[in-house]
């Protein structure tokens, strides 16, 4: 049987709208047969997703999307087939949660300077035990009618160089890769074209990424053009990286992105799932 993969999505454990159960059910309805749950800096949704995946007969791949810093820039590294209970990873997750909470306080203070009070209380309440993300702040700004959409919240307040942006030091790239690979996972550079790197910087990044044990790169994402797939495939080829496919689904309200709705991986690219061996944690 040919699998239908989606190796990048979010649940309420980070900034997704659907619970792990709802997410897996929706993936099943969309014909996905192998799903990786990759919440920002947490594996908290895994157990619940696994329970539902077993019932729906979906292969669930334990995943995470780690926030990493390298050369004063931020990157997202997707870990696939990790051990969600690997102690060093769990410790890293606790540290990242503290970093996120501290950052949230700073973002809220910046918003307060812009005469927008109450953000911290609102986002901590909305996030509960989950990872606080800028998406929570975007939702807060929408709910208070300061902006009319999440996108506008980023464009006016939360994106880099905007008034409520807070530069953050995440996990070092080398460390993030180590947590993934030492827990049996495959490390994949998420959405490579979103960082807007020059060709030279991209080369430096991918060289460092490979040296630190990175094995894959997202070639097909939820909303990408044929040209973008070509470009990412060229990077995969040039740096001998396997190609991954993932929607980066967050919410059913986004009509442009759906679980499993992905262009096929170009046939000359080695699929990342061929690297999923015995060591990989797949239900």
What is the rounded distance in angstroms from the CA atom of residue 164 to the CA atom of residue 161? Answer: 8
Q: Is residue 135 part of the contact set for ligand AMP (CB under 6 A)?
A: yes
Tell me if 137 sits within 8 A of 126, measured CB to CB: no
With contacts defined by CB under 5 A, name the span among 86-94, 108-116, 118-126, 190-198 that binds Mn ion: 190-198
Supply the DSSP string of 250-271, one letter for each residue.
--TT-TT--TT--PPPPTTSPB
Supply the DSSP string of 40-60, one letter for each residue.
BT--TTHHHHHHHHHHHTPEE
Query: Which positions from 46 through 65 interact with Mn ion, judged by CB under 5 A?
Result: 65
| Least distance to Mn ion, CB of residue 17, Å | 11
DSSP conformation class of 84: T
| Least distance to Mn ion, CB of residue 128, Å | 17
List the structure tokens of 230. Answer: 């070509």
Q: Is residue 40 part of the contact set for ligand AMP (CB under 6 A)?
A: yes
| Least distance to ligand AMP, CB of residue 227, Å | 20
List the structure tokens of 7. Answer: 């190796």
Within 13 Å of residue 248, how many CA atoms lie on the same side as its CB? 18
Q: Which is nearer to Mn ion, 114 or 223 (CB)?
A: 223
- Contact string (CB under 6 A) for ligand AMP, positions 150-189, x = contact: xx--x----x------------------------------
Q: Is residue 133 part of the contact set for ligand AMP (CB under 6 A)?
A: yes
DSSP SS3 for 75: strand
Total number of residues binding ligand AMP (CB under 6 A)? 11
The Cβ of residue 163 has, within 10 Å, a number of other Cβ atoms equal to 12
Query: Which positions from 63 through 82 interact with Mn ion, judged by CB under 5 A?
Result: 65, 76
Q: Is residue 248 part of the contact set for Mn ion (CB under 5 A)?
A: yes
With CB atoms as reference, the residue minimizing the distance to ligand AMP is: 133
Q: Which is nearer to Mn ion, 65 or 83 (CB)?
A: 65
Beta bridge partners of 77: 66, 189
List interacting residues with ligand AMP (CB under 6 A): 15, 40, 67, 133-135, 150-151, 154, 159, 250
């Amino acid at each position: 049987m040919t699998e239908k993969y989606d190796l990048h999505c979010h649940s309420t454990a980070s900034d997704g709208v659907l619970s792990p159960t709802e997410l897996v059910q929706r993936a099943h309805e969309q014909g996905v047969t192998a799903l990786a749950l990759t919440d920002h800096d947490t594996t908290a949704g895994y157990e619940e997703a696994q329970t539902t995946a077993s019932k729906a007969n979906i292969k669930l791949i334990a995943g995470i999307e780690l926030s990493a810093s390298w050369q004063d820039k931020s990157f997202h590294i997707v870990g696939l087939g990790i051990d969600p209970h690997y102690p060093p990873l769990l410790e890293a997750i606790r540290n990242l949660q503290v970093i996120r909470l501290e950052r949230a306080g700073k973002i809220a203070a910046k918003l307060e300077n812009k005469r927008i009070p109450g953000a911290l209380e609102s986002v901590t309440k909305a996030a509960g035990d989950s990872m606080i993300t800028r998406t929570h702040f975007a939702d807060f700004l929408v709910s208070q009618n300061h902006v009319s959409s999440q996108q506008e919240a980023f464009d006016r307040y939360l994106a880099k160089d905007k008034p409520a942006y807070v530069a953050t030091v995440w996990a070092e790239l080398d460390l993030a890769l180590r947590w993934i690979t030492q827990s049996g996972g495959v490390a994949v550079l998420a959405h490579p074209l979103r960082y807007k790197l020059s060709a030279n910087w991209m080369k430096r990044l991918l060289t460092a990424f490979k040296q630190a044990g990175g094995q894959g790169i997202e070639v097909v994402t939820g909303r990408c053009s044929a040209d973008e797939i070509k470009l990412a495939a060229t990077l995969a080829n040039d740096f001998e990286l396997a190609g991954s496919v993932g929607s980066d689904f967050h919410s059913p309200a986004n009509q442009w992105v759906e679980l499993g709705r992905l262009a096929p991986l170009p046939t000359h690219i080695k699929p990342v799932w061929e690297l999923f061996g015995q060591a990989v944690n797949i239900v």
